[in-house]
Amino acid sequence: MNYYIVTSEVFDTLTKENIAFMHKSMDASKRVVITSDIVSNNLSSFANVAALSQYTVDNTSEWVGDGAGIPEWVLEEIIYIPGIDD
């Protein structure tokens, strides 16, 4: 899998069936995306799920606003369903 931060506009162009996880930023301008696709026009990419989770912890107000970030288990276990809250 590949781990990214992308703009909402880039997200709209991705193949939804290849996305394993998606989470919108608080202002809905960016998305955390885990996908099997290679996304070259990303804002950030991460080596693994731990690095992506840590990024959300370090930037919690942008992603969840609760001071905790997105835990690894959420990134690994919550499954993205295309069309729901895109």
pTM, two decimals, is: 0.89
- By the 8 A CB rule, do 44 and 37 touch? no
Specify if 86 maps to a domain. Answer: no
Q: Which domain holds residue 10?
A: 2-77
Asked whether residue 56 is assigned to any structural domain, the reply reads: yes
Q: Convert the pLDDT of each residue in 50-80 to its tens digit.
A: 999 999 998 878 887 777 889 999 999 988 8
Give a yes or no: residue 83 inside a domain: no
Tally of structural domains, the chain: 1
Q: pLDDT tens digits for 10-49?
A: 999 999 999 999 999 989 999 999 999 999 999 999 999 9
In this structure, is residue 82 part of a structural domain? Answer: no
Residue 32 lies in a domain: yes
Instruction: Indicate whether 37 belongs to any domain.
Output: yes
> Do the domain assignments include residue 55?
yes
Identify whether 84 is part of a domain. Answer: no
